[in-house]
Chains A and B, each alone.
Chain A
Amino acid sequence: MQARKKDSLLVASVKDSLGAAVITFALACVMVGLRVDVASGRGAELFLEHRWLAVAVAVLVVFAGRLAMNIFFWKREDPPSLNLSGLLPKGGMGGGSSNVLKYGLVVLAVALPFALMFWLGARGSRQYIDLAILVMTYVMLGWGLNIVVGLAGLLDLGYVAFYAVGAYSYALLAHYFGFSFWLCLPLAGILAAFWGVILGFPVLRLRGDYLAIVTLAFGEIIRVVLLNWYQFTGGPDGLSGIPRPSFFGLEFTRGEDGFASFFGLDYSSIHRIIFLYYLIFAMALFTNFVTMRLRRMPIGRAWEALREDEIACRALGINTTNTKLTAFALGAMFAGFAGSFFATRQGFISPESFTFLESAIILAIVVLGGLGSQIGVVIAAIVMIGGFEFFREFEEYRMLVFGMIMVVIMVWKPRGLISSRTPSVALSRNAKGISADLVQEGHG
């Protein structure tokens, strides 16, 4: 009896795995096994390269992997439970346990440039501070998008458009009028928010995925216009020579009235990098602060209500138009700030930097970190952007892996890694948070 049962488990597993192997073969036989390439020298003739070994490996790996999984997990009657959820930090913004993590991260972020300078010196630490600036930019963008997607539940696939508006606002204002960074920063934010309202207004009636596709279309429209309006935006050549920010009027230059000589320091190019780092850090913290404050205000509660159920929201007399528009405008404004920071950091911008992929990366940071969770965004940004830089050598493969990870994490934890929808307000003191496991279907 026991033996027969074991046998049938094995047979079933092998059958299932054979099926998977056949499908893998069908997938791989043409797309992996043959590679079409353009012959050099003989005109534009195409020829094929054979890679049957790769197909065989793929099929074997899938077969063996599936067989092992079948035998040890899926087809067993008592599959060993693997609960990895405990490894992740629990709770969202208001959770007490995450306070330590939160302040820890802030302290770490403040100390980071000096720690790096101490260990690696000015020369060695530069690339790491640059990376930290990049991560911080994405944290800020993630927090901005979190207002739209995480709090208000409006899926925005064209977020990068507002980032582009911010970047181009600064670059163009500086180019044509010679405005300084500090004047342009609020202007860029206002302009981006203005565009947020303009683009947001017509799409308010649309539901989740329609909204997503229209915002995607708007994002592409803005990019195509930037690309083709050659006289104004420089087209594909972009804009260069964007002025650098000053420290209360002190330029980061060598010489009498520079930052270094004013403070009696030796001139070093790292000063500007560190200044940029603290600048984006302050901007990101500002974003977070505003979001957290707004969440406690009626408008923030309206956002969360909107995310959970739009019809109920309307029935309660919430003006959904204004609620959605403020979410759009605020999200866009922070993207505009981040955009003008991006422009001043790079000194050069072109439409290349504002593709749909960029929107997808920001969205992935928000969604994989956990919708509505501020700390999740930070963790996701560090892991993702850090991962991108870490695997820079595998340029070709990293986006492939990025796409697959997006699928895997979503399937594994549809609510994101730190999944909790802690309402900002609860009826009783005990009912503090609703775990994601309890929330089934919200019309988010």
Chain B
Amino acid sequence: MDYFLQQLINGVTLGSIYGLIAIGYTMVYGIIGMINFAHGDIFMVGSFVALILIVALGITAATPVLLLILALALVLVVAMALTAVWGWTVERIAYRPLRGSFRLAPLITAIGASIALQNFVQVSQGAKNKPLQPLFSGSFQLTDGGADGSGFIVNLSYIQILIVVTTVILMGGFTYLINNTNLGRSQRACEQDRKMASLLGVNVDRTISLTFVMGASLASVAGLMFLLYYGVVDFYIGFLAGVKAFTAAVLGGIGSLPGAMLGGLLIGLIETFWSGYFSVEYKDVAAFSILAIVLIFMPEGLLGQPEVEKV
């Protein structure tokens, strides 16, 4: 039971990270109906930006707590802004010229952009793993392992709390943004009917750009969280994380924001429990199989609307 609880905590943390990335997939898919294959690599760029900023600001575990939190908030904001520029640029260069072209074309450029981003980071930052010393080391002990000390000690670390809390705050913020602002309204309009929206005075190109910007900045938050949680990044983390987050988006129902979050949580939990109870080696197989199974049997996902095929 205690072991289960620990896996649950770890799974929710991992799931928050996947959920943040999945939002980028789901928003882009909702609005232009394409898989932004480079999104996983935008997440990777985001985590690199965060790492560089942390090193540049000289943040270490020795920094006083209040200052540490402030500095991390600064890192978060700057990383979000800079990664957003990356997301915008990828959209501008690789996707916008192909709008209205045949459907496979943007997918191919997305793969190209993904390869280019990965190798750009490999060239500019080197291929080595970049380990970061943990910044928060404390944790709450939820169970003490029983009276005789034979039980399993369940830890809830500060960093896990930080990740989940940040995710919840950001999710709330973005839900508000989509539901209650002009930008969100034009976004939903473009999602329903791009041509009609443009006739009604919505700047479609700008809305799509902003969608990419939002997705990229959320991905950079996920990148920072990933960095703080695992303490190591390399140029290749984007691929696996991207596929898993996409799985999360599909599982939750593509195009649906709460769905992406729910899917992220589920994927995180499934992956953690799978590695906790079955085998660590095959945890990626578990995630990929879920992707295939969901797409085959339940393509509209948990919270999505069924897609109507139009001629």
Residues of A within 8 A of B (CB): 23, 26-27, 29-32, 34-38, 44-48, 149, 155, 157, 202-203, 205-210, 212-214, 216-218, 220-221, 224-225, 227-228, 311-312, 356-357, 360, 363-364, 367, 371, 396-397, 399-400, 402-407, 410-411, 414-415, 441-444
A30 to B56, CA, bound (A): 10
Tell me if B198 is interfacial: C-beta within 8 Å of chain A: no
- The contact sample of 30 A-B pairs, CB cut-off 8 A, is A34-B52, A36-B52, A36-B55, A37-B130, A46-B55, A209-B103, A209-B107, A210-B299, A213-B246, A213-B291, A213-B295, A217-B292, A220-B243, A224-B281, A224-B282, A363-B108, A364-B108, A396-B119, A396-B123, A400-B115, A402-B119, A403-B115, A403-B119, A404-B116, A406-B115, A410-B109, A411-B97, A414-B101, A415-B102, A444-B103
Interface string of B279-298 (1 = CB under 8 A from A): 00110110011011001100
Select from chain A the residue with minimum beta-carbon distance to B85.
A26
A292 to B81, CA, bound (A): 52
Select from chain B the residue with minimum beta-carbon distance to A235.
B281
**Other than the known A36-B130, A397-B123, what 11 A-B pairs have Cβ atoms closer than 8 Å?**
A23-B85, A30-B52, A31-B49, A224-B285, A399-B122, A406-B109, A406-B112, A410-B98, A410-B112, A411-B93, A443-B103
Beyond A363-B111, A402-B115, A404-B112, whether A206 also contacts B55 by CB under 8 A is: no
A37 touches B295 (CB 8 A): no
Select from chain A the residue with minimum beta-carbon distance to B310.
A311
Chain B positions within 8 Å of A31 at CB level: 45, 48-49, 52, 120-121, 124-125
A35 to B51, CA, bound (A): 10
Chain A positions within 8 Å of B309 at CB level: 207, 311
Tell me if B12 is interfacial: C-beta within 8 Å of chain A: no
B292 touches A214 (CB 8 A): yes
Residue of A360, A397, A411 most packed against chain B (CB within 10 A): A411
A38 touches B130 (CB 8 A): yes
Chain B positions within 8 Å of A32 at CB level: 124
The residues in B between 265 and 289 inclusive whose CB is less than 8 angstroms from any CB of A are: 281-282, 284-285, 288-289
Chain A positions within 8 Å of B132 at CB level: 46
A30 touches B49 (CB 8 A): yes
In the complex, which of the residues B51, B52, B296 contacts A203, with contact meaning CB atoms closer than 8 Å?
B296
A414 touches B98 (CB 8 A): yes
CB of A283 to closest CB in B, whole Å = 27
Beyond A311-B311, A403-B117, whether A221 also contacts B289 by CB under 8 A is: yes
Residue of A32, A400, A403, A441 most packed against chain B (CB within 10 A): A403
Tell me if B303 is interfacial: C-beta within 8 Å of chain A: no
A23 to B295, CA, bound (A): 38
In the complex, which of the residues B109, B111, B281 contacts A360, with contact meaning CB atoms closer than 8 Å?
B111
Tell me if B86 is interfacial: C-beta within 8 Å of chain A: yes
Beyond A30-B82, A31-B124, whether A228 also contacts B282 by CB under 8 A is: yes
B124 touches A225 (CB 8 A): no
A155 touches B86 (CB 8 A): no
Select from chain A the residue with minimum beta-carbon distance to B96.
A411
A399 touches B115 (CB 8 A): yes
Select from chain B the residue with minimum beta-carbon distance to A405.
B112
A442 to B102, CA, bound (A): 6
Chain B positions within 8 Å of A23 at CB level: 85, 88-89
B128 touches A38 (CB 8 A): yes
CB of B21 to closest CB in A, whole Å = 15
CB of B273 to closest CB in A, whole Å = 18
Tell me if B170 is interfacial: C-beta within 8 Å of chain A: no
B113 touches A217 (CB 8 A): no
Chain B positions within 8 Å of A29 at CB level: 82
Tell me if B114 is interfacial: C-beta within 8 Å of chain A: yes
Select from chain B the residue with minimum beta-carbon distance to A360.
B111
Count of A-B contacts judged by CB separation below 8 Å: 196
Chain A positions within 8 Å of B109 at CB level: 406-407, 410-411
Residues of B within 8 A of A (CB): 34-35, 45, 48-49, 51-53, 55-56, 81-82, 85-86, 88-89, 93-94, 97-98, 100-105, 107-109, 111-126, 128-133, 239, 243, 246-247, 250, 281-282, 284-285, 288-289, 291-292, 295-296, 299, 309, 311
Beyond A212-B35, A414-B101, A443-B103, whether A203 also contacts B292 by CB under 8 A is: yes
A97 to B250, CA, bound (A): 47
Chain B positions within 8 Å of A405 at CB level: 112
Select from chain B the residue with minimum beta-carbon distance to A32.
B124
A38 touches B131 (CB 8 A): yes
CB of A165 to closest CB in B, whole Å = 16
Chain B positions within 8 Å of A400 at CB level: 115-116, 119-120, 122-123
A213 touches B55 (CB 8 A): no
Chain A positions within 8 Å of B117 at CB level: 403
Chain B positions within 8 Å of A396 at CB level: 119, 122-123
B102 touches A414 (CB 8 A): yes
A218 to B292, CA, bound (A): 8
CB of A60 to closest CB in B, whole Å = 18
A205 touches B296 (CB 8 A): yes
Beyond A406-B112, A407-B113, whether A220 also contacts B284 by CB under 8 A is: yes
A101 to B7, CA, bound (A): 62
In the complex, which of the residues B88, B103, B239 contacts A356, with contact meaning CB atoms closer than 8 Å?
B239
A35 touches B124 (CB 8 A): yes
Chain A positions within 8 Å of B288 at CB level: 217-218, 220-221, 224
Chain B positions within 8 Å of A205 at CB level: 296, 299
CB of B259 to closest CB in A, whole Å = 16
Chain B positions within 8 Å of A220 at CB level: 243, 284, 288
Chain A positions within 8 Å of B113 at CB level: 403, 407
Residue of B85, B104, B122, B126 most packed against chain A (CB within 10 A): B104
A206 touches B295 (CB 8 A): yes
A403 touches B103 (CB 8 A): no
A35 touches B243 (CB 8 A): no
A142 to B165, CA, bound (A): 49
Chain A positions within 8 Å of B97 at CB level: 411
